[in-house]
Amino acid sequence: AGTVTHDFEVSWIYANPDGSQNRPVMGINGQWPIPTITATKGDRIIVNLKNSLGNESTSLHFHGLYMNGSTHMDGPIGVTQCEIPPGSSFTYNFTVNLIDQPGTYWYHSHQRGQYPDGLRAPLIVHDTDSPHKNLYDEEIVLSFSDWYHDLMNPLLAQFLSIANPSGAEPVPDSSLLNETRDLSVKVEPGKTYLVRMVNMGAFAAQYVWFEDHTMQIVEVDGIYTEPTDADMIYMTVAQRYSVLITTKNTSDANFAFVGSMDQDLFDTVPEGLNPNVTGWLVYNDANEKPAPKELQAFDPFDDYTLVPQDKEEIYDHVDQQITLDMKMDNLDDGENYAFFNDITYVAPKVPTLYTALSTGANATNPVIYGANTNQFILAENQVVEIVLNNDDPGKHPFHLHGHAFQVVYRSEEEAGFYDPNNHTAFPSTPMRRDTILVRPNGNIVLRFRSDNPGIWLFHCHIEWHVASGLIATIIESPLSLQSQLDGRIPANHLQACADAGTPTAGNAAGN
Ligand code: C2O
């Protein structure tokens, strides 16, 4: 295995990715879009991050990587590290698992509300043992995302204000493909391409299709799947798919492919919003790039039916259960909040990891983590079940850090709360992934094994809902975590904490 090292200096620069107006974006080393990180499984990744934004703190999260033994490199501020204030630096240093972490990931800021300002890019882990490696000739990486003309800070202020009692989320102004609206992908006839797709958006799920070409799904969120054909994929924010696409045998025509934002998510659809972004498979530069055909019906592939290539069987005995009832409400004071079990997440004063490391045997007592972190302590090597009941008429994409989970059940919309005595049969080899959609007023049931000591967030990946508190904290095997990290806050954390003035000791409430 090798080492992949990057020196990243984050600063504001100007960009105009949808051709409407220049706006500030978060670039790296004076460039935007920021670089894709490419590694091979088993590699060490080192990112020397310097914050030159001048006005905002930052951090990076490597979405989907399990970070075994490296929870302190996972990135969320107030959870596994202090914020990295302007002028300060932090080094991320971890290895990508050798056995079980090939595929398509991404990295993004995990400071509140920040990645939609541009601090987001794919992270690809190559695998010389891929079961699909003989099935394709070349790779293509595509990112899809919604795009706002305004900066996140003013949008967040408006979204969270008492002037927005319905909690209506800001609607994107447009959407981007590889951070542009003018993407041509050169292809050759008679070849097969592995197309890796990531939704890096803040809010909008995307319907994705390639005109007159079939997608064969071979990976979701880093998990290889039995090859499965799909004409259209529904990709929530933070989800990834790899698909095989075989090109035509002639280069007579070029073909459009489309990402179409799911407008059901928007409370109101502004006049003139174009929900689509179009790219082209270009067989021949001399030919026209046709406009996509108008679609009447959206009938995406159901990811719940996917089967993982390793055919891992369902965990049929559950040791520990977490039930999360989620809702959104303005509590009649005008401001909109999001809740798990009636609690809106508020980040603790001392990052949760430091509390776990510094409290000895008390680390298994949930009380020390504060009253507003929706904390759950997991014992080691248990089969854990998360039941999530969506008591809200919206769609929500939920993400768990540190694990992929089996999706053992997903109800239709309006099914209400999960009833263990009344549901369709569970699949025997459920799909695994790290981000899953729960339908409006529906429910999902997820299972995983607690084999990765660490502090892992579970949250809705819609960035507006992160800001309104739709977050739980999983405190997994805290005593093993203490021995893994020698019961000490890792030394490279202390400088950022000192620069930020964040306490690293005391209980979670900062007392
Ligand atoms: Cu993309 Cu908390 O994660």
CA of 239 to the centre of ligand 1 (A): 11
Bridge-based pairing of strands 405-410 and 44-51 is: unpaired
Please report the pLDDT score of residue 214 as a whole number: 97
Q: Is residue 509 part of a domain?
A: no
Regarding whether 120 and 156 lie in a shared domain, the answer is no
Relative to the CA of 63, which ligand 1 atom is closest? Answer: 1
Q: Is residue 355 helix, strand or coil?
A: helix
ipTM: 0.99
In terms of Cβ atoms closer than 10 Å to its own Cβ (0-12, 13-18, 19+), residue 186 is exposed
Please report the pLDDT score of residue 511 as a whole number: 42
Regarding whether 398 and 285 lie in a shared domain, the answer is no
The last residue of one of the domains, among 102, 129, 156, is 129
Please report the pLDDT score of residue 228 as a whole number: 98
Taken in order 177, 126, 74, 387, the sign of the CA dihedral is positive
In terms of Cβ atoms closer than 10 Å to its own Cβ (0-12, 13-18, 19+), residue 276 is middle
Regarding whether 150 and 76 lie in a shared domain, the answer is no
CB within 8 Å of 71: residues ≥ 6 apart: 80, 353, 402, 452, 453, 454, 455, 456, 481
Q: How many CB atoms lie within 10 A of CB 124?
A: 21
Which structural domain, as residue segments, surrounds residue 199?
132-308
Report residue 65 as tokens: 């990587």
Please report the pLDDT score of residue 348 as a whole number: 94
Q: Is residue 261 part of a domain?
A: yes
Q: Is residue 204 helix, strand or coil?
A: coil
CA of 461 to the centre of ligand 1 (A): 6
Q: Judge if pTM exceeds 0.95.
A: yes
**Residues with C-beta less than 6 Å from any ligand 1 atom:** 61, 63, 76, 108, 110, 238, 399, 401, 457, 459, 461
Pick out the chain residues at pLDDT < 70.
Answer: 506-511
Whose C-alpha lies nearest to ligand 1, atom 1? Answer: 63
Whose C-alpha lies nearest to ligand 1, atom 3? Answer: 63
Relative to the CA of 435, which ligand 1 atom is closest? Answer: 1
227 upstream amide cis, omega within 30 of 0: no
Please report the pLDDT score of residue 507 as a whole number: 58
CATH code for the domain in which residue 479 is found: 2.60.40.420
Regarding whether 146 and 122 lie in a shared domain, the answer is no
Contact by Cβ (8 Å): 500, 84: yes
User: Distance from CA of residue 230 to its chain's centroid?
Assistant: 22
Query: What is the total count of domains within the chain?
Result: 3
Relative to the CA of 76, which ligand 1 atom is closest? Answer: 2
User: Distance from CA of residue 122 to its chain's centroid?
Assistant: 11
- Enter the DSSP assignment of 54: S
Regarding whether 403 and 438 lie in a shared domain, the answer is yes
Q: Alpha-carbon distance 18 to 20, whole Å?
A: 6
Regarding whether 324 and 291 lie in a shared domain, the answer is no
CA of 493 to the centre of ligand 1 (A): 20
